[in-house]
Structure 1
Amino acid sequence: MSLEEILLGQLGGYILAFARIGAIFVFMPGFGERPVPARFRLFMALAVALALYPATGIEPVTLDAPVAFLGLLALEVTIGLWIGLTARIVMSALQFAGYQIGYVAGLSNALAPTTGQFEGATMVAGALMMAATALIFATDLHHLIIRALLTSYEVFPVGRIMPGDLAAQTVAAVGASFYVGLALSVPFYVMGIVLNVGLGLANRMMPTLPVFFVAGPVLIASGLIVLLAAAPTMLDHHLQELAAWLETFRF
C-alpha cells in the first residue's frame, strides 16, 4: 500500500469522525449554545475530531467508492444529530421548569403593565438555562461530554444504525425530560397552592380586600425566595440526569 493510499484512508476516517462529532456539537448543551458563534463551534469540532480520531477505532476508509462513503457519512451525521438533539431534549427539562416557575410565581401576568404575558417566565427559564450552561464547565461536565463522544462509537459502531431503538429512546427522552421538569417545579406548585388558598380565605373574610394587587407582590416575592433556596438542588439534580444519560445513551 502506497503512502498516498494510507493518507487518503486516514483522511476518509477523519471525515467520518468529524461528521459525527460536528453534528453533535451543533446541539450539544454547553458547546452548541446560540451565543457561541458557528465559526468557533466549527473549529472546536475540527480540533476535537482530530484529537479523538485515533481513539475512535474508525478504520481507514478509502474514497474509491464515493456512493458507499456518502452512505457512511449520512449515517454518522444522523447519529451525531440524534445524540445532540437528545441531549438538548434532556436539557430542556430545566427550561420547562423555568416556565412553570414563572407562571406559578405570577411573573407572566397578562395584566402586568410593563411586561408581556410570557416575558417573565421566559426570563426565569433563560436564567436557569444560563446557570446550567455555566455549571457544565464549572463542574467539569464537559469532560464527560467529550468522553461520551468516544463512548458513542461503542454504542453506535460506524456504519450501523438502529432506527427503532433511536425512535424509542427519543420518546423516552421526551418523557423523562417532562418528568424531570415537573419534579423540579413541585416546590413552586406547593407554594402556589398554599398562597392562593390563603389569599382566598383572606378574601372570604375580608371581601373588600383587593386580592389581585395583594397577591401579585406576595407571589413574586415568595417565588423568588423559593427559587433562591431551591435553585442549587434543581441545577444539581438536572445536571446529574444529563450526566447519567451521557454515560449510557439510554433511559
Structure 2
Amino acid sequence: MDLTALLTSQVLGYALVFARLGSVMVFMPGIGEQMIPVRHRLAMGVVLSLALYPATPVGALNLPTPLDLFPLLVVETAIGIWIGLTARILLSALQLAGYQVGLVSGLSNAFAPNIGSFEGSTLLATSLMLTGVTLIFVTDLHHAILQALLMSYDVFPPGGIMPGDMAQQIVRAASHSFYIGTMISAPFFVMGLVLNVGFGLANRMMPTLPVFFVAAPLLIVAGLFVLVVAAPAMLRAWLEDFSTWLGILAF
C-alpha cells in the first residue's frame, strides 16, 4: 500500500468516528448546550474524535469507491444522534421537576403580576437544568461520558444499527425521565397537599379569611425552603440515574 492509499484509509476511518462522536456533541448535556457556540462544539467534536480514534475499533477503511462511505456515515450519524438525544431526554427530568415544583409552590400563579403565568416555573426549571449540567463537570461525570462513547462501539459496532431497539429505548428514556422528574419532586407534592388541606380547613373555620393572599406567600416560602433542603438529594438521585445509563446505554 502506498502512502496516499494509507492516508486515505486513515482519513476515511477518522471521518466515520467523527460522524458518531460529532453527532453526540449536538445534544449531549454539558457539551451540546445551546449557550456554547456551534463552532466551539464543532471544534470539540473534531479534537475529541482525533483523540479517541486510536481507541475505537474502526481503524483504517479500505473501500472500493468513496460512495461506499456514505451509508456508513448515515448509520454512524444516526447512532450519535440517538446517544445524545437519549442523554438530553434524561436531562429533561430536571426540567420536568422544576415545572412541577413551580406549580406546587405557587411560583407560576397566573394572578401574580410580577411573576406571570408559568414564568416562575420556567426560571426554576432552567436553574435546575443548569445546576445538573454544572454537576456533570464538578463530579467528573464527563469522564464517564467519554467512556460511554467508547463503549458505544461495543453496543453498536461500526456500520451496525438496530432501528427497532433504538426506537424502543427512546420511548423508555422518555418514560424513565418522566418517572425520575416526578420522583425527585415528590416532597413538594406532600408539602402542597398538607398546606392546601390546612388552608382549606382554615377557610372553613374563618370564611372571611382571604385565603389566597395568605396562602400564596406561605406556599412560596415553604416551597423555597423545601427546595433548599431537598435539592442535594434531588440532584444526587438524577446524577446516579444518569451515570447508570452511561454505564450500559440501555434501560
TM bucket normalised to smaller: over 0.9
Q: Which position in structure 2 is the counterpart of 1:87?
A: 87
- Deviation per residue, 1:128-154 (Å, 9 max, x gap): 011111100000000000111100111
- Deviation per residue, 1:146-188 (Å, 9 max, x gap): 1111001111000110011101111110111011011011000
1-structure distance, mates of 2:165, 2:192? 40
Q: Which position in structure 2 is the counterpart of 1:37?
A: 37
Q: How far off its partner does 1:117 sit?
A: 0.6
Q: Which position in structure 1 is the counterpart of 2:171?
A: 171
2-structure distance, mates of 1:231, 1:167? 32
Superposition TM-score, scaled by structure 2 size: 0.98
- Deviation per residue, 1:66-118 (Å, 9 max, x gap): 33210000000000000000000011111100000000000001111122211
2-structure distance, mates of 1:17, 1:231? 38
Q: Which position in structure 2 is the counterpart of 1:65?
A: 65
2-structure distance, mates of 1:246, 1:30? 14
Runs of at least 4 residues of structure 1 off by over 2 A?
Answer: none
Unaligned runs of 5+ in 1: none
Q: How far off its partner does 1:49 sit?
A: 0.3
Q: Which position in structure 2 is the counterpart of 1:243?
A: 243
Superposition TM-score, scaled by structure 1 size: 0.98
> Which amino acid is the alignment partner of residue 62 of structure 1?
N
Question: Contact 1:18 / 1:49 at 8 angstroms: preserved in 2?
Answer: yes
Question: Contact 1:13 / 1:58 at 8 angstroms: preserved in 2?
Answer: yes
Q: Which position in structure 1 is the counterpart of 2:228?
A: 228
Q: How far off its partner does 1:64 sit?
A: 4.2
2-structure distance, mates of 1:158, 1:64? 17
Question: Contact 1:8 / 1:63 at 8 angstroms: preserved in 2?
Answer: no
Question: Contact 1:76 / 1:158 at 8 angstroms: preserved in 2?
Answer: yes
1-structure distance, mates of 2:205, 2:115? 32
Matches for 1:1-251 after TM superposition, within 5 Å = 1-62=1-62, 64-251=64-251
Unaligned runs of 5+ in 2: none
2-structure distance, mates of 1:233, 1:22? 33
- Deviation per residue, 1:19-69 (Å, 9 max, x gap): 100000100000011111111111111001000000001031135423321
2-structure distance, mates of 1:45, 1:240? 26
Question: Contact 1:20 / 1:76 at 8 angstroms: preserved in 2?
Answer: yes
1-structure distance, mates of 2:93, 2:148? 20
> What is the DSSP-based 3-state SS (H/G/I as helix, E as strand, rest coil) of the residue aligned with 1:166?
helix
1-structure distance, mates of 2:66, 2:119? 50
> What is the DSSP-based 3-state SS (H/G/I as helix, E as strand, rest coil) of the residue aligned with 1:115?
coil
Root mean square deviation of aligned Cα = 0.8
